[in-house]
Amino acid sequence: MSKPSRAIRGRVLTFNDDPQTAGSAAHEFIEDGLIVIAGGHIAEVGEAPALLAKLPDSVMLDHYPDGLILPGFIDTHIHYPQTQVIASYGAQLLDWLERYALVEEQRFGDPGHAAAVAGFFLDELARNGTTTAAVYCSVHPESAEAFFAESDRRNTRMVAGKVLMDRNAPAALQDTAERGYAQTKALIERWHGKGRQLYAVTPRFAITSSEAQLEAAGVLLREHPDCYMQTHLSENRREIETVRALFPWAENYTSVYDRFGLLGPRSLFGHCIHLEEGERRLLSESGSVAAFCPTSNLFIGSGLFDLAKARDPAFPLRVGLATDVGGGTSYSLLRTLAEAYKVLQLQDQNLPALEAFYAITLGNARALGLEDRIGSLAPGREADVTVLDAKATPAMAHRCERIETLEEELFLLMTLGDDRAISATYIAGERRHVRSGG
Ligand SMILES: [Zn+2]
């Protein structure tokens, strides 16, 4: 057992369950709390005065008197090669890919470029309080290699994979079923389970993979059952029509992935907006995860994710929340919560603040099946921690004067907050981001 090296003091909030089902017993709040870190893990969490009394003087103490200390945020769907096409104008999904994303991604065969962007991307996540993400790289194995190397150097827990794409894409971005399989296999052997790195087999979506390639993806998952699978599903009407034309034998879009063995509890499906009932059944029965990406769905004009339907007891879906940068418009999971709230408001649904913060911490950890490692502040968990400041801007500080409850403070943070509201971010117990001037 390592000796305590650091302690973080402030107002501590963590979840042990989903407030939507477990109510107020789902969260724990300590007004003057302390998190003690040893060997990159959380050793103790409790009342600050009692824990401080027994800590040796050698322990580094970071005190945030007004700060709200939460588990590091988790993003279940994001593209690291799209940091320079975020905020690209005027297109829906298939045009957006053709005009912007699939042009930009051609740069990532260059390992130097990939490494530089991976560094920027991981810095940007830390600045936004995000400590884990499920990440799409480009089709080039070099892009995944650069990403994992950079993440391993920072000791961040990341899930990532090289995109598989062997048709309906620029020639420079195509692999083949055989090459994609071999490259993925080599990357899994090199990176899956190395330090905090985890691999996701990543067919971009059914339109850009042949049946042979989807078949190979299924083989990879059977050979490596503890790897993830990530892809896109039912985001846009034209996309769905194209899938229908490419796979005339399939009952629906989801059944294409099902046919090749790509559904399951470690499978993450971005968007899931226009699902038919049969698709909900397939996803529900396989324990697959739907990633709700509100800023992207609004920006690309894809549609509104129906959370109530996802919770339908007939076919309940596991749901993760995600930014989907660069179709999404913010790296911030606080901004993402704000847009999720509005997407639900438009459908006469709601998103209470405690449920929202559960979603981007323990909820997303559960979506990734990593709840025994990350997503909560409890002894034994990896020490990924985000410190929030509800008075980050003059408008927020002004609004705070009328705030009386924790729920009101959280709702302010998710409605007006962004990267400016992140005071500090800790990754495996190391402070990797401190807000300047804060
Ligand atoms: Zn995406």
State the average pLDDT over residues 270-289.
98
Residue 135 Cα to ligand 1 middle (Å): 9
Domains of the chain, residue spans: 4-72+376-434, 73-367
pLDDT at 438 over 60: no
Report the CATH superfamily, name and number, of domain 73-367. Answer: Metal-dependent hydrolases (3.20.20.140)
Neighbours of ion ligand 1 (CB under 5 A): 270, 324
The CA-atom distances, in angstroms, between 201 and each of 76, 271, 349, 407 are 14, 18, 34, 38
How many angstroms does the Cα of residue 83 sit away from the middle of ligand 1?
13
Distance 138 CA to ligand 1 centre (A): 12
pLDDT at 251: 98
Total residue count of the chain as it appears in this document: 438
pLDDT band for position 90 (cuts 50, 70, 90): confident
Phi first, then psi, for residue 59 (nearest 5°) are: -75, 130
243 CA distance to ligand 1 middle (Å): 17
DSSP reduced 3-state for 54:
coil
**Could you say which architecture CATH assigns to the domain 4-72+376-434?**
Roll (2.30)
Ligand 1 centroid to Cα of residue 136, in Å, is 8
Could you report the per-residue pLDDT of 405-421, keeping only the tens digit for each? 999 999 999 999 999 99
Cα end-to-end distance, the chain, whole Å? 34
Given pLDDT bands bounded at 50, 70 and 90, which one contains residue 1? low
d(C-alpha 29, C-alpha 345), whole Å? 28
Instruction: Quote the pLDDT of residue 2.
Output: 87
Q: What is the pLDDT of residues 102-154, one digit of tens each?
A: 999 999 999 999 999 999 999 999 999 999 999 999 999 999 999 999 999 99
Q: Does 169 score more than 70 pLDDT?
A: yes
What six digits make up the tokens of 283?
A: 């996803």
Q: What is the model's pLDDT at position 437?
A: 65
Mean pLDDT of the chain: 97
CA distance 328 to 336: 9
Give the whole-number percent of the chain exceeding pLDDT 90. 97
Q: What is the pLDDT of residues 235-268, one digit of tens each?
A: 999 999 999 999 999 999 999 999 999 999 999 9
Of all residues in the chain, the percent with pLDDT exceeding 70 is: 99
264, exposed or middle or buried, with CB in 10 Å at 0-12, 13-18, 19+? middle
Q: Tell me the pairing of strands 41-47 and 27-38.
A: antiparallel
Q: Kindly state the tokens that stand for 268.
A: 């993450």
CA of 97 to the centre of ligand 1 (A): 10
Half-sphere exposure of 413 (CA within 13 A, CB side): 28
Is 217 a residue whose pLDDT tops 60?
Answer: yes
Per-residue pLDDT tens over the stretch 380-408: 999 999 999 999 999 999 999 999 999 99
Distance 146 CA to ligand 1 centre (A): 20
Q: Measure 249 CA to ligand 1 centroid, in angstroms.
A: 26
